[in-house]
Copies of this chain bind each other. A is one copy, B any other.
Amino acid sequence: MSVTLKDIAQATGYSINTVSRALRDDRRISDEAKEKIHGEAKRLRYIPNAIASAMRSVHTKSIGVVTADSANPFFSEVNKGIEAMAEKAGCHILVGSTEESLTREKNLVNLFLSRMVDGLVVMPVSDTSEEHLELYRSLPVPFIFAGRHLEGFDDHCILHDDVTGEKEVVRHLFSHGHRQILILTGPEQVSNTQDRLQGVREAFREAGVPLEESSIWATNGHAEEGYAAVNQALNKGLPFTAITCFNDLVAMGALKSLSENGLSCPRQVEVVGYDNLYMSQFMQPALTTVDVPKFRLGYTAMDRLVCHIKNPSAAYEKVMMPTRLVFRESTRGGKY
């Protein structure tokens, strides 16, 4: 079997306890002992058993991250922020993806709990069933929701302002004279979908333009459904001169459909995405989109979480981050 503290203790003549403390650099251990013990540990290729250590001590120094959709680079970018702060805090991370399934979300949370994580960062689906809410009400560790909110847990959320972000998109399109706007929404059980749609509605109301429900098309947030939706809208002869997309992936599909149907973007149809993925600047045309501070979102979420782990009685506080419209080639001209 593998090398344990016991082996090092036997090899050096110290007690298991002294070895344990020497390896953790406890200051009450003599330099001589430390040197001997560290040397022997290295020689024997000792690998500390984090499992055993976790059992005995209060903290495992591990955090569970429940992310949403592994096919969307948005979440990789948020993850990087989480990881950066985790590393800073000396934690490591267990990641799992729900693929927007409530069942998988619950399973992941329980999996992480059973592995004794010190806390959780979650991008939840927005299901408001009693069972779902109860899962978080009874959670025995600190937790933060990143980029998405859940009814009754506003304080736990680190968010970006989707309502305003999307409202500005539609305002901008209005200011360019568009009145026929195709709206491609995202997965329905996700709070961002609801918020962005609300932003659309507010912008329409504000401008006094009636919003036809027939111009709202649902997608699952992936390119192929953006592509299909625009194809179908064109086939139906739906009139539109601009498209606002749930996210950049959907926009990528939309651009493809326009191009295949001989419609020039931005000359004939303007397209706006959401998220500002790294790849969006390389799309053709480069995508106008709403920048979300992805890295900072993850970084801040993890930072807050660490605070709550260190100080369990600290009050939770909602954080709202600003978004920013980024103008590229898929829309005409700059801001008016």
Q: What residues of chain A have their CB less than 8 Å away from a CB belonging to chain B?
A: 2, 45, 47-52, 54-55, 60, 70-71, 73, 76-77, 79-80, 92-96, 110-111, 113-116, 138, 140, 223, 227, 249, 252-253, 255-256, 259, 278-279, 282-284, 286
Residue of B whose beta carbon sits closest to that of A140 = B2
Residue of B whose beta carbon sits closest to that of A134 = B45
Question: How far apart sit A223 and B286, CA to CA, in the bound complex (Å)?
Answer: 13
Contacts of A110 in B (CB 8 A): 47
Residue from the list B54, B70, B96, B223 in contact with A282, Cβ < 8 A: B223
Residue from the list B60, B92, B95 in contact with A111, Cβ < 8 A: B92
Question: How far apart sit A19 and B249, CA to CA, in the bound complex (Å)?
Answer: 49
**Could you list 4 further interchain pairs (A-B, Cβ under 8 angstroms) beyond the known A52-B55, A94-B94, A284-B284?**
A51-B114, A70-B80, A255-B284, A279-B279
Cβ of A50 and Cβ of B115 under 8 Å apart? yes
Contacts of A116 in B (CB 8 A): 49-51
Contacts of A252 in B (CB 8 A): 279, 282
Q: What are 27 A-B interface contacts by the 8 Å CB criterion?
A: A2-B113, A47-B113, A47-B114, A48-B114, A50-B111, A50-B115, A51-B51, A51-B115, A51-B116, A55-B55, A70-B76, A70-B79, A71-B73, A71-B76, A73-B73, A93-B96, A94-B94, A95-B95, A223-B278, A227-B282, A249-B279, A252-B279, A256-B282, A256-B284, A279-B279, A283-B283, A284-B284
Contacts of A223 in B (CB 8 A): 278-279, 282
Residue of B whose beta carbon sits closest to that of A109 = B47
The smallest C-beta distance from A125 to any residue of chain B, in angstroms, reads 19
Question: How far apart sit A185 and B6, CA to CA, in the bound complex (Å)?
Answer: 50
Cβ of B47 and Cβ of A51 under 8 Å apart? no
Residue from the list B60, B249, B283 in contact with A51, Cβ < 8 A: B60
Cβ of B71 and Cβ of A278 under 8 Å apart? yes
Contacts of A138 in B (CB 8 A): 45
Question: How far apart sit A93 and B66, CA to CA, in the bound complex (Å)?
Answer: 13
The smallest C-beta distance from A104 to any residue of chain B, in angstroms, reads 10
Contacts of A45 in B (CB 8 A): 138
Question: How far apart sit A96 and B116, CA to CA, in the bound complex (Å)?
Answer: 18
Contacts of A255 in B (CB 8 A): 282, 284
Contacts of A76 in B (CB 8 A): 70-71, 76
Contacts of A93 in B (CB 8 A): 96
